[in-house]
Amino acid sequence: MKLESFVRGQWVSPGCDAVDIHSAVTGDVVAQLQSGGLDMREILVYARATGGASLRRLTFHQRADMLKRLGQYLTERKDQLYKLSLQTGATRTDSMIDVDGGIGTLFVYASKGRRELPNAKFLLDGMVEPLSKGGTFSGQHIMAPMHGVGVHINAFNFPCWGMLEKLATALLAGVPVVTKPATITSYVAYALARMIAESGILPGGAFQFVVGSAGDLFDHLTCQDVVSFTGSAETSEKLQRHPVIAREAVRFIAERDSLNAAILAPDASPGTPEFDLFIKEVAKEMTVKAGQKCTAIRRALAPSVHVDAVISALRERLAKVAIGNPALEAVRMGPLVGLDQRRDVLSHVAKLRSEAELVSGDPDNFPVQGADARRGAFVPPLLLHCADPFRAANVHAIEAFGPVSTVMGYSNLDEATTLADRGGGSLVASVYTHDPRTAADLVFGINSFHGRIVIIDRDCAKEQTGHGSPMPQMMHGGPGRAGGGEELGGMRSLHHYMQRTALQGSPKMLTAVTGSWSQGSPTIEKDRHPFRFHFEDLDIGQTFLSRQRTITLEDVEHFAHFTGDTFYAHMDEEATKGHPFFPGRVAHGYLLLSFAAGLFVDPDPGPVLANYGLDTLRFVKPVQPGEAIKVRLTAKEKLPRNKQYGEVRWDVEILTGKNETAATYELLTMNAVRPAP
Ligand code: NAP
C-alpha cells in the first residue's frame, strides 16, 4: 500500500524519504510512504481561501447535514477500515471504538448541530447588555468562524476516531481542516481519508490530508489557525514552543498522555457490586487496545485493607485474557502497535518496578495465539503493586502506554484524593462507590485535577459508558499533564474554532448587524397583525400591541379551580400577609401567560403554523385582581428551516395598565414560507 497525501484537491506523493510501516502482528511491511516534499504554505492558503470561504457560506444546519451524509457514506464502507486495523493490532472491539466511535461522533454532531444551533452562520453569545442610562448604547457578544485552518495532529492509537472527532467540530464551526495522522497507523487513516475525499460531500479545500512529516507547516500558521494536537506530552511541549505559536498567539489545543486513576471507595468492599465493577473496569482498561489509550487506568487506588483482594481478583481476571493475532475470534488482546512501542513500554515498566512489584503477568513468558511472539509486538497485561505510593514518584509520572497498571493503597479519602491528584492533571478518574457523600467528597477533592469523573455503581452498572470512553456530548481533556485542552463536550468544542467578539453600538445598529431585535431598537407597525405575514415577508422589529384586559377575582378563582392550582397566594388574602413578594392575592403567572396568548393571538388560519415553546420566561411583577394587562409582541429573530417553514422568535412583554413590566419571555413559532405563485 503506497500512501499519498490529499492536498489542494489531489492525491500526491512528492517526498523522497521512503518510510516503511510494519504490521504490529507479523512485523511485515504493510505500507510505505514518501515523507516530505509538500508545500505547506500553499496547503494552508488553499484551505483558508477555498475551504474556509465555502464553509462560511453554509449555515450550521447545512454543515450538520454534511456531517450526517459523511457519516452515512463511511458507515457503508467501514468494513475496509476494520480489515486494515487488524494490522495495527486492533481486535474487533478495539476497532469498534475507533471506527464506529469516530463515525458515531459525526452523527452526534450532525444531530446536535441541527437541534442546538440556529440555522445561521454565526452565534449570538448571551443576552444584550445595556451599557447606557438612556438606552442608546448596548453590547452583544457574537461568535463567528475563524478565517483560518484547523491543523489536526493525531496520535497513533485511534487513527479513525482521532481524525473524525476533530473534523466534526471544526467543520460544523465552519473551519477547514488539514489533518496529519501518526505515521505508524497512517495506512488506516489514509483509507479513511480516501473515503472522505471520494465521497465528494465536503466542499473543495475543507479537508486535506498530510501523511508523514509535517515539514515546515508550523512556520506558516497565523492567528486565525487552530492547532489541535493529540499525542505525547513530549511532542506537545516541543510543538507548543514553536516560535510562531507564541508570536501569532495561535490557539493550541493539547490532548496529551495522563496517569488516570480509578478509586475504589471504602464502602465498596469485596462482595459489593461496586468492588466487582472496579475489577472489571481496571481489567478492561488494561486490555482494550492493549492498554494504548490515553484514558486507560494507570493507577488503581484501593483502601489498604482491600489491596490484597483487589490484586487477587485482577490476577484471576487478567489470566483469562487470550493474547494473540486479533484476526482470531478467541483473542481478546492484540499486540502493541509496533516493536518500538513494545521497547518503550517495557523500559517504562522497568522504571516502575523500581518502586512497585510486578504481581501479575510475565513479559518474558506468556502464550500468544496465532502469531509469532518474536515478530509481533506482544506484551501481556502487567499489574504492579506499589506499597508506598506517597514516597514513590515514577508510578505517578511515567505513562507505560500499554497493558500496564499499578495498584496502590490508601487509608482515608484525603489520602485517596492526594494520590489521584499526584498524576499532575488527568483526563479522567473513575470512582466506585454507592455512597453519595463519599462520591461528593471525592469529586470535589479531585475535580480541579481531572477533566472527567465517572461515578460507577450498581445503579448505572449496565448502561454506564466506561471509564475510558470519551463521549461526544461530554468534554474530553484535562488540566496540567493531560495538556490543558478541551475537546468534544457537545457544542462547547466549536468555540475553539470561532472568535468571540464583543459588539457595541446603538440597539438599532446591533439589530441591523446581528439580525436580532433587542429592546430600545426601533419597532415597525404595519396595518396587519404580524401573524398574517409569511416567513420571508415578516420584518425583524415588526410589532403588535394588544388591547387591555382587566383581571378579576373571578378570573383568578376560575383559573385556580379549572387547573387545580389553588396555591395560597392566589386564594387566601390572609395567608399572604407579610409575604416578601406578594402584596395580597395575586394572579397565577400561568394565567397571565394564558391571557397574554388570548390577547396577542390572531386566531384565523394563516402563516403561523405552530407555537413550539417559550424561552427565558421571567415573572417580574405580581399582578393583583383588578389590575389590567396588555401585551407587546415583537418579531425578534427569523431562522430559515426548510422550503416549507422557518422559525420565528418573538420578544413578548406583558405590561400592566400602568406600563410596568409584569413578565417577559421569548415565544417560538413556526411560520410558513410564502407559497410559490
Ligand atoms: P506522539 O509521538 O507524540 O505523536 C503524536 C503526533 O505528533 C503524531 O501524529 C506525530 O507524527 C506528530 N509529530 C511528532 N513530531 C512532530 C513534529 N515535530 N511536528 C508535527 N507533528 C509531529 O504520540 P503517539 O505515540 O502517536 O501517541 C501516543 C501518546 O498519545 C500517548 O502518550 C497517549 O497518552 C497520547 N494520547 C493522548 C490522547 C488524548 O486525547 N489526550 C489520545 C490518544 C493518545 P509522526 O507519527 O509522523 O511522528
Q: What's the CATH code of the domain at 633?
A: 3.10.129.10
Q: Is residue 114 part of a domain?
A: yes
3-state secondary structure 96-151: HHHHHHHHHHHHHHHHHHHHHCCCCCCEEEEEEEECCCCCCCEEEEEEEECCCCEE
Q: Which domain holds residue 301?
A: 260-470
Distance 154 CA to ligand 1 centre (A): 6
The pLDDT value recorded for residue 50 is: 97
> Which are the contacts of 391, defined by CB distance < 8 A and separation ≥ 6?
none
Q: Give 550's DSSP letter.
A: E
Instruction: Give CA–CA dist 141/128, Å, rounded.
Output: 8
Q: Are residues 226 and 284 in the same domain?
A: no
Which residues are known to be catalytic? 255, 294
Distance 163 CA to ligand 1 centre (A): 13
Pick the atom of ligand 1 nearest to 258's CA.
Answer: 34
Pick the atom of ligand 1 nearest to 213's CA.
Answer: 47
Q: Is residue 659 part of a domain?
A: yes
Which residues form the pocket of ligand 1, taking CB atoms under 6 Å from any ligand atom? Answer: 153-157, 180-183, 214, 230-232, 235, 239, 255-257, 294, 399, 401, 427
Q: Are residues 136 and 226 in the same domain?
A: yes
Q: Are residues 658 and 582 in the same domain?
A: yes
Kindly list the distances between the CA atom of residue 286 and the CA atoms of 143, 289, 299, 317, 422, in Å, as whole numbers in the listed order.
41, 8, 11, 11, 20
The pLDDT value recorded for residue 112 is: 96
Q: Are residues 415 and 549 in the same domain?
A: no
The pLDDT value recorded for residue 125 is: 96
Q: Are residues 458 and 328 in the same domain?
A: yes
Pick the atom of ligand 1 nearest to 234's CA.
Answer: 3
Distance 155 CA to ligand 1 centre (A): 4
The pLDDT value recorded for residue 35 is: 84
Q: In a 3-state reduction of DSSP, which class is residue 666?
A: strand
Tens digit of pLDDT for each residue in 584-631?
Answer: 999 999 999 999 999 999 999 999 999 999 999 999 999 999 999 999
Residue nearest atom 28 in ligand 1 by C-alpha distance: 231
Distance 230 CA to ligand 1 centre (A): 6
Q: Is residue 554 part of a domain?
A: yes
Q: Are residues 304 and 423 in the same domain?
A: yes
Pocket test for ligand 1, best of 43, 156, 428 (most atoms within 8 A of CB): 156
Question: Cα-flanking dihedrals φ and ψ of residue 562, to 5°?
Answer: -65, -45
Instruction: Give CA–CA dist 532/145, Å, rounded.
Output: 36
Distance 422 CA to ligand 1 centre (A): 23
Residue nearest atom 11 in ligand 1 by C-alpha distance: 182
Q: Are residues 144 and 264 in the same domain?
A: no
Please tell me the total count of domains within the chain: 3
Instruction: Give CA–CA dist 334/341, Å, rounded.
Output: 13
Distance 186 CA to ligand 1 centre (A): 12
The pLDDT value recorded for residue 374 is: 87
Strand order in the sheet with 450-456: 357-360, 382-386, 404-410, 299-303, 261-264, 426-432, 450-456
Q: Are residues 338 and 456 in the same domain?
A: yes
Instruction: Give CA–CA dist 599/248, Å, rounded.
Output: 56
Q: Are residues 34 and 161 in the same domain?
A: yes
Its sign, for the CA torsion 78, 83, 89, 93, is positive
Cell digits of residue 333: 488482546
Which CATH number is 434's domain given? 3.40.309.10
Distance 181 CA to ligand 1 centre (A): 9
Instruction: Give CA–CA dist 317/454, Å, rounded.
Output: 22
Residue nearest atom 21 in ligand 1 by C-alpha distance: 214
**C-alpha dihedral, 564 to 570 to 574 to 575, nearest 10°:** 70
Instruction: Give CA–CA dist 260/476, Å, rounded.
Output: 13
Q: Are residues 450 and 556 in the same domain?
A: no
The CA-based angle 417-419-424, given to 5 degrees, is 100
The pLDDT value recorded for residue 96 is: 94
Q: Is residue 561 part of a domain?
A: yes
Q: Is residue 664 part of a domain?
A: yes
Question: Cα-flanking dihedrals φ and ψ of residue 333, to 5°?
Answer: -140, 125
Q: Is residue 480 part of a domain?
A: no
Residue 226 neighbours by CB distance under 10 Å: 24
Instruction: Give CA–CA dist 606/58, Å, rounded.
Output: 30
Residue nearest atom 43 in ligand 1 by C-alpha distance: 294
Pick the atom of ligand 1 nearest to 485's CA.
Answer: 41
Residue with cell 461522533: 105
Low-confidence ranges of the chain (pLDDT < 70): none
Pick the atom of ligand 1 nearest to 158's CA.
Answer: 43
189 closest CA partner among 217, 165, 221 = 165
Q: Are residues 419 and 315 in the same domain?
A: yes
DSSP assignment of 260-307 equals -EEEE-TT--TTSHHHHHHHHHHHHHHHGGGG--TTS--EEEEEGGGH
Q: Is residue 236 part of a domain?
A: no
Residue nearest atom 20 in ligand 1 by C-alpha distance: 214
Q: Give 395's DSSP letter.
A: G
Residue nearest atom 15 in ligand 1 by C-alpha distance: 235
* pTM, two decimal places: 0.93
Which CATH number is 43's domain given? 3.40.605.10
The pLDDT value recorded for residue 377 is: 95
Distance 14 CA to ligand 1 centre (A): 23
The pLDDT value recorded for residue 483 is: 95
Pick the atom of ligand 1 nearest to 294's CA.
Answer: 34
Pocket test for ligand 1, best of 154, 184, 230, 487 (most atoms within 8 A of CB): 230
The pLDDT value recorded for residue 348 is: 97
Q: Is residue 250 part of a domain?
A: no
Q: Give 442's DSSP letter.
A: H
Residue nearest atom 16 in ligand 1 by C-alpha distance: 235
Pick the atom of ligand 1 nearest to 399's CA.
Answer: 32
Distance 293 CA to ligand 1 centre (A): 12
Cell digits of residue 206: 475543507
Q: Are residues 214 and 277 in the same domain?
A: no
Residue with cell 471506527: 99
